[in-house]
Amino acid sequence: MNTPKPSGDVSQLAICGGAPAFAQPLHVGRPNIADRERLFARFNDMLDRRWLSNNGPFVQEFERRLCALIGVRHCIPVCNATVGLEIAIRAAQLHGEVIVPSYTFVATAHALQWQEITPVFCDVDERTHNIDPALVERLITPRTTGIIGTHVWGRPCPIDALTEISQRRGLTLMFDAAHAFACSYGGRMIGGFGRAEVFSFHATKFLNSFEGGAIATNDDALAARIRLMKNFGFAGFDKVVFIGTNGKMTEVCAAMGLTSLEGLESLVEVNRRNYHAYVRALDSVPSVTLLRYDESERSNFQYIVIELDAVRAGLSRDEVVAVLHAENVIARRYFWPGCHRMEPYRSYFPHAGLLLGNTERMSERVIVLPTGTAVTPEDVDKLCGVLRTALASPEPVRQALAARPAA
């Protein structure tokens, strides 16, 4: 049972000695669980068939349904989005340097570096959190072969501007669409832009297949290479015609993906409901800016993202996160500290931060808050009450934080 918090009473905050607001941790990205009966029926079908992997019926059906939803010719399921990125990058024959945002999950950069392709980190637009096309242009060199944009928080990149640059400069354009499944841009579903787009169906995504991903493309030749590469390069029994790896999605993951897909609209509606609850609860907090979604487009509302103005708040972002953690709200500091400050990139490019001012500032002020089917509007109200209370009395909160035993 959750513990009620008297609004505005700083002494009731857990950091100040009160009981935590939530008896059980409230996580960012806690898995959404699909219709269990439907899922277990699929498991039984799979076990009866004894077809557990190698492009089974559920994987084939999952691909068909993904293609229909997104409106692309190919949406090839893979074991996870990171391997999907690696395969797509290799199938597109990228090499040399590829321009990517640093404000993204590190897998975007690793998928390049793993193949000895240099990720060249580009700054982002502070308003959108997405890669800035004006800055992309400045980073192009004779070694540049591609651009990979990330649709951060499911809000689309500046696709038109990036497309114009890539076409004019003869570069391959791809997108890390891990956040953007079931989102649209200009009325078109994400998945059909660039040479390819890669989705994630990891357990923490709003629609999950336990673990998994998919590569979407309208390029038939590219799709043919991807299909070979995800299965060791096999083109029939005992016939290997291309270098490949094991990127196949299993039947059990496809069964979960299909079942989740059947509940897609209800999952989106829960996220939308929670998003509107956060908007109402935080709209009047002057030091907090809640990232908004364009509701004229399709969105999955998967992430609740706030930016904290530490000067106005009187508390730093990390201090606010510590307050929330004490209440059993496991808020996250995405994408701290930025790929360029992680290894091996901080050793390779020690001065990259000089060109990534927006990325560095954002990584110090963004907080991601819980949503999804494990979170109710009442939870949102209680969580935001904690935030408002802490931000209304920063000095006692700072004193309580300073008095904590060292970790």
The conformation of residue 292, written as its DSSP 8-state character, comes to P
Instruction: Provide the mean pLDDT of the chain.
Output: 96
pLDDT band at 6 (very low <50, low <70, confident <90, very high): very low
51 lies in the same domain as 22:
no
* CA 27/CA 155 separation, integer angstroms: 22
Q: What CATH number is associated with residue 167?
A: 3.40.640.10
The stretch 334-354 carries a mean pLDDT of: 97
Tokens matching residue 165: 């640059």
Regarding whether 256 and 191 lie in a shared domain, the answer is yes
Contacts from 221-227 at CB under 8 Å and sequence distance 24+?
222/88, 222/91, 222/92, 222/195, 222/196, 223/73, 223/74, 223/76, 225/91, 226/74, 226/76, 226/87, 226/88, 226/91, 226/196, 227/76
Sequence letter at residue 404 = R
Domain boundary among 207, 228, 262: 262
* Residue 301, Ramachandran bin (φ over 0: left; ψ between -120 and 50: alpha; else beta): left
291 part of a folded domain: yes
Residue 362 located in a structural domain: no
Among 236, 163, 239, 151, smallest CA distance to 189 is for 151
- Examine the domain organization and report whether 168 and 20 are in the same domain: no
Tell me, yes or no, whether 87 lies in a domain.
Answer: yes
Interval 245-267: pLDDT, tens: 999 999 999 999 999 999 999 99
Asked whether the predicted pLDDT for residue 2 surpasses 60, the reply is: no
Q: What is the pLDDT of residue 3?
A: 44
* Cis amide linkage into residue 405, ω under 30° from 0: no
pLDDT tens by residue, 113-130: 999 999 999 999 999 999
**Domain, as residue range, for 271:** 10-31+264-331+370-402
The answer, yes or no, to whether residue 172 has pLDDT greater than 90, is yes
pLDDT of 7: 55
With cut-offs at 50, 70 and 90, classify the pLDDT of residue 315: very high
- Secondary structure of residue 196 in the 3-state scheme: strand
- Which pair of tokens denotes residue 26? 């409230």
**pLDDT (0 to 100) of residue 5:** 45
Q: What is the mean pLDDT of residues 318-340?
A: 97
Reading the block at residue 152, the tokens are: 């951060």
Amino acid present at 31: P
Which stretches of 116-250 are DSSP H helices?
A: 133-139, 159-169, 220-229
pLDDT at 61: 98
Considering its fold, how many domains does the chain have in total? 2
Q: Note whether residue 337 is domain-resident.
A: no
The verdict on residue 338 lying in a domain is no
Amino acid at 38: R
CA 321 to chain centre: 20
246-266 core/surface letters (b: 16 or more CB in 10 A; e: else): ebbbbbbbbbbbbbbbebbee
pLDDT, tens digit, 9 for 90 and up, residues 206-216: 999 999 999 99
User: Which of 50, 80, 79, 75 minimizes the C-alpha distance to 65?
Assistant: 75
- The CATH number covering residue 269 comes to 3.90.1150.10
Is 236 found in the same domain as 304? no
pLDDT per residue as tens digits for the range 178-207:
999 999 999 999 999 999 999 999 999 999
Higher pLDDT residue, 221 or 6?
221
pLDDT of residue 404: 86
Q: How confident is the model at residue 385 (pLDDT cuts 50, 70, 90)?
A: very high
Looking at the structure, tell me whether residues 172 and 273 fall in a common domain: no
- The answer to whether residue 1 scores a pLDDT higher than 50 is no
Give me the amino acid identity at 282: L
How many other CB atoms are there within 10 angstroms of residue 402's CB atom? 8
Q: Give tens-digit pLDDT for 57-80.
A: 999 999 999 999 999 999 999 999
- For 36-58, write each residue's pLDDT tens digit: 999 999 999 999 999 999 999 99
pLDDT for res 15: 96
